[in-house]
Amino acid sequence: MYTSILKSILAFAGLGATLACDDHASHAHTRRTVPVRPPTRELEWGDINFIHTTDTHGWYLGHQKSSAPEPNYSGDMGEFLSFAQRMKEKALKKDVDLLVIDSGDLHSGTGLVDGSPSNSVLGHDALQLLKRVPYDVMAIGNHELYNYSITLDMHQQFAPSLKGRFLSSNVNITVNQGGRASSVPVGSRFAKFRTRKGRRITALGVLFNFMSNDKNTTVQRPADMVKESWFLDAIKEEPDVFLLVGHMPIQAGNDWPLVFNAIRAVHPKTPIIILGGHSHIRDCNRLDGRSVSFQSGRYMETVGWLSVNLKPKCNITVGRRYLDANRATYEFHTGKSGRQLDTKEGTALTRDYEGLANKYNLGFKYGTAPRDLTLNRSPFPSNTSSPSVLGSQAVPYAISVNKTRANIPNLVIVQAGSQRYDIFAGAFTRNDELTASPFQNAFMYIQDVRLGDAKRVLSLLNGGSLSGVPNTTGSVRRALGRGEERQKAIEEMVHGGPEYNHWVQAMSRASDEEEMERRVAGGLTPGYVTQDSCPGIGDDTPHVPIGPFFHVPTYVSSNPPSGTDDTRIDLVFVDFIQEDVIEGLNAIQSERVFVLGDVRGYTTVLLRDVWGVYAGFAWV
């Protein structure tokens, strides 16, 4: 039944012809061929209001595909800039405060940040343009810390543009100062400022307890940060509002309560606004009646709106809305359509991001994808599951360019978490390649591995049973443990952890088929259907839930070659998991002890190159 409902939704989504576009020609709206449903409810305004983004990950030209739900998120950063400026104008007329906030992870996501030339810092050019967006406060994310050169670029070239309001309360970088190595904040530890209406704000920017940062960068645990003298001094004076902006989920199990409680110990009634991130979901909750915690999704799919009325000695009243990031949304809430929405600065930013995409040759077409390939919305295995096609077809073809091992059978193992985004039917470009699979992992191999052992390593990495496996003490547990740790690191890099998948799966489970049929009959298209802990309906535009969702194993493989368990093959894998593979091999057999010296490079093709090589062959 769900499949038939989904077909009806997609049929509706395909009805639209190219939208008429009466705004500036520099806006490449010809790419947006599917109409989107506009909002129908005005926003609630308060004494102080927030436009919030987080985990934008380089989606500065918007989502450009016509497959549902992509058109919901088709607004580009230039249009967002125009929206922010127009909303600032409305705030001025209403005589209220409006702050524009971002909670981190600007890097790693599209060709604009991952396609930088090899002689430049990844993301530098894109972020130089992003400095034009009128953010009042920004916080650092974990993706600004995997590579020291990126962190240094943020410290030297980006943070200064915020004039003390790019916050990294618990994140330092080691730099050379006067010939000596010094550990200093990447941005600022905190900021104190007044809003247009004169409200006193004390702002902090906190990163979760992140441990995969590059050398010469330091992340202090939030639990330790709140004991620091600078923190205690920063919160000593009571402001009108504490603004906690940080790359840390607001869901249970994270460390915001540690920061919150440290402030509450000094100021029991001062309003506290928490704007979080990292888990890629829409969410809202309240730790007490004088506070609110809010989070606005990922990938410029969601623009968050939070309004707060500050009542002395009473609980604050809060309004929140999750806006689909598209032009129809921006026009509705600004009350300005067509050219009236666009500001000079917004139009210029769109043009310059499109120019950067051309400079990076992100429009280069490898081939035409015959169908959508999704990460979780297709059964595994199937020809519409991108992890399935990656393992069974794309990787085997891409690495076959290594002719020196062409006559030797192989089994290839790749982590499914290396795939960051769906692939959509139609032109498959360099930008799509980098968006779907950005990581520069190399393919390695160990020769003369028994086929049966290679299969058992795959099963072991995927959490298979250890019964009957020799040497089950010690090394097997270490192999499994390391695999789980590495997969957690992959998910942290790619998805912000498993929270996003669990969140979207819960949407599908929460809607029965009759309700979905009513929604489809009413013209609703796939999108986010948010259930959070704050009162009222948070989603700005109603949707049918995205789905269905299917389990995908942690690691996927090529189709095993023919032969018996004793057939000798090349076991091929990406370098990121080579230690796990070695420990797994040593755990399941005693014929031979494998060491790192047994690992060799298999091909010059990198993991990020696989889809482009395959598309040039299979999708012409």
* Angle (deg, nearest 10), helices 578-588 and 451-461: 120
pLDDT per residue over 187-238, tens digit each? 999 999 999 999 999 999 999 999 999 999 999 999 999 999 999 999 999 9
pLDDT at position 112 over 50: yes
User: Residue 556 and residue 304: Cα distance in Å, rounded?
Assistant: 36
SS (H, E, C) 531-600: CCCCCCCCECCCCEECCCCCCCCCEEECCCCCCCCCCEEEEEEEHHHHHHHHHHHHHHCCCCCCCHHHCE
What average pLDDT does this structure show over 548-558? 92
Residues 6+ positions from 523 with CB-CB distance below 8 Å: 12, 37
pLDDT at position 590 over 80: yes
Beta strands in 333-441, from DSSP E residues, in sequence order: 365-369, 410-415, 426-429
Confidence category of residue 492, pLDDT binned at 50, 70, 90: low
- With CA atoms as reference, report the closest residue to 187 among 226, 220, 217, 156: 156
- With CA atoms as reference, report the closest residue to 339 among 9, 34, 79: 79
> Token digits for 522?
């009413």
pLDDT at position 16 over 80: no
Topology, domain 2-359: Purple Acid Phosphatase; chain A, domain 2 (3.60.21)
Stretch (H or E) spanning 174: strand 171-177
pLDDT at position 427 over 90: yes
Where is pLDDT greater, at 269 or 467? 269
Topology agreement, domain 2-359 and domain 365-495+553-618 = no
Q: Alpha-carbon torsion 515, 552, 468, 567, what sign?
A: positive
pLDDT per residue over 50-74, tens digit each? 999 999 999 999 999 999 999 999 9
The pLDDT assigned to 537 comes to: 95
- Domain extent listing, the chain: 2-359, 365-495+553-618
pLDDT at position 316 over 50: yes
Sheet holding 166-167, edge to edge: 166-167, 137-139, 97-102, 48-53, 302-309, 317-324
What average pLDDT does this structure show over 368-386? 96
User: Residue 290 and residue 273: Cα distance in Å, rounded?
Assistant: 9
Instruction: Indicate the average pLDDT of the chain.
Output: 90
pTM of the model: 0.90
Stretch (H or E) spanning 13: helix 2-13
pLDDT at position 478 over 80: no
Three-state SS at 98:
strand
State the CB neighbour count (10 A cutoff) for residue 559: 12
Class of domain 365-495+553-618: alpha beta
